Chains A and B, each alone.
Chain A
Amino acid sequence: MKKIFSLLFLSGFTFVAFGQDFNKNLADARTAYAAGNLSNSRFAMEQMLHTLDAAIGKDILKLLPPKMDALAANVKADNTTGTGTNSGLGLYVQLTYGTGAKTATIDIINNSPLITSLNALLALPFVGRGGDGNQKVVKVQGYKAVLSRTENSETKKLDYDLQVPMQNTLVTFKMTEAQEADVLRLANTIPLEKIASMAQ
C-alpha cells in the first residue's frame, strides 16, 4: 500500500514538474518573441517540445503490456526521452522485459531516420526478402513490418527483430532466444494504432 502511495505521489510530482517546465518555457518563448529575440524564443519552444515528448512517452509506457508471456516488464528501467529538435531525434520510449538470457524489448522512436529505408523495403516486393531466409516482410495488426532473424553463434538460439514503421514513428520489438510464431503473437499485444496516434 505504501508503495502505491509513493508511486502515486511520484507520478503527481513528475506531472507538476513537467507542468512547471512547460509553463516557464512558454512564458520565456512569449517574452522573447515579443521582444524580437527570435532565437531565444525558438530555444524555449524546443524545451517545451522536450517536455511534451517526455509526457507523451510516459503515456505510451502506460499502454504497453506489463508482460510478454513469462517475461515481466522492467518498469524501473523504462526509458522515455524527448530531445526536442536539437539532436534531430524526437520522442524515444524503451521498455524491456525479462532479466535472463531470454528478453524482449520495445523501442518507439519518433522521426527515426530508419523509416525511409524501411518503407523502401516494404514498398518493393523483391527487396527485403533475404535469400537466406533471415529477413522477411510480415503483417502485424494490418501494418507491414520487417522481421529479421539472427542466430547466436554460441548458443545457436535465434534472436528476432521486428520493425514496424508507422508514418513518422518506428516501433521495434526485439526478442532473444525466441520462436518466430511467439514473436508475432506477442507483437500483436502491442497497441500499435494507439501508439501511432499518440506519437506522431
Chain B
Amino acid sequence: MKILYLTCIVSGLCFMQHHANAQLLNKVRQKLENAAEQSVNKALGTDKNTSPAPTPSTSSGSRARNKGGAGLVTTPPDVKENLTNAESKYKAGQYGQSRAALQQAMLGVEMEIGQKILKSLPEAISGLKKNAESDQVTSTGWGWAGLTIQRQYTDSNEKELTVTVVNNAALLSAVNLYLSNGGYSQTTGGKQDWKQTKVKGNRAVIEYDENSGYKLTVPVGQSSVLVYEGVNFKDEPELMTAANAVDIAGIKKMLGEK
C-alpha cells in the first residue's frame, strides 16, 4: 500500500514538473514570436510603436477600399487600323485572327454610332436634366447583345427618365409579337397594365407598373428598339410628351434602319 502511495506522489510531482516545463516553454515561445513580429513590423514600417497613427484594421479580413485613381483611358478601337489588320490576316489565311480584328473594327464603328446618337438626344426633357455621367454606349461588336445606348434624365430628386436604344435586339421580336397579335389580353384584374400607342407615328407599347413606373417601347426599323422608362411621372400624357422630345427619325437614320 505504501508503495502505491509513493508511486502516486512521484507521478504527481512528475506531472507538475512537466506542466511547469510546458508553461515555461510556451512563455519563451510567445516572447520569441512577439520579438519576431516586432522586427518584421519594423522592417515593413507597420510597427505600432513607430507609427502611432490609427490605420484601418485589416485583421478582420475586410479589404482596403480604393479612394482615388483616374480610371481607365477611353480607347475605342481604331477602325481603320483594325480593318487593315483584318485584311492582312485574311490574305494570310488566318481567318480566326482576321475575324477578331474585324470584330474590333465593328466595335469601334458601333461606339461611334452610339456617341453620335447620344449627341442627338436633347439636353433636357420635360424639365429633367441629362445626367452626363450615366451616359452609356456599350457594344459587344458580336454576339447576342449588340449595341446599347443609354441616357438618363433626372430632376436630382425622385423623378427620372431613362432612354435606351438597343440595336439587334431579341427584345424586338417580343414587342412585335405584342403589336401584331391583337388577341393578347390587355387588362388584368380590370386594370389596364399595357396597351398599344403611337410615338411620332411609330407604333409602340406602353406599360405601367406600380413599382417601376412607365415603360414605353418603340420598335425602330428592322432590328432596333427605343425604350423609355419613366419613374414618378404624373400620368401617361406626361410620359408621352417626354417621349416626343426624342428625334426618333434621326436615330433610325443613324442606325441605318428603314
Contacts and interface: CB of A to CB of B under 8 A. Distances in A.
A49 B102 CA distance: 7
Nearest to A49: B102
Given A30-B83, A38-B254, A52-B98, A88 B109 contact: no
A48 B102 contact: yes
A199 B80 CA distance: 24
A189 interface: no
A33 B79 contact: yes
A56 B83 contact: no
Interface residues of B, number: 31
B232 interface: no
B256 A39 contact: yes
**What is the interface of chain B mostly: helix, strand, loop, or mixed?**
helix
Interface in A42-65: 42-43, 45-46, 48-49, 52-53, 55-56, 59
The listed residue with most A CB atoms (<10 A of its CB), out of B106, B141, B146, B254, is B106
B109 A86 contact: no
A41 interface: yes
Contact of A90 (B109, B113, B142, B256): B142
Given A33-B79, A200-B96, A85 B142 contact: yes
A38 B254 CA distance: 8
A40 interface: yes
A41 B113 CA distance: 11
Interface of B: 79-80, 83, 86-87, 90, 95-96, 98-99, 102-103, 105-106, 109-110, 112-113, 116, 141-144, 146, 168, 170, 223, 254-257
A22 interface: yes
Interface size classification for chain A: 20 to 34
**What is the interface of chain A mostly: helix, strand, loop, or mixed?**
helix
A109 interface: no
B102 to A, nearest CB: 6
Contact of A198 (B96, B106, B168): B96
A3 B113 CA distance: 50
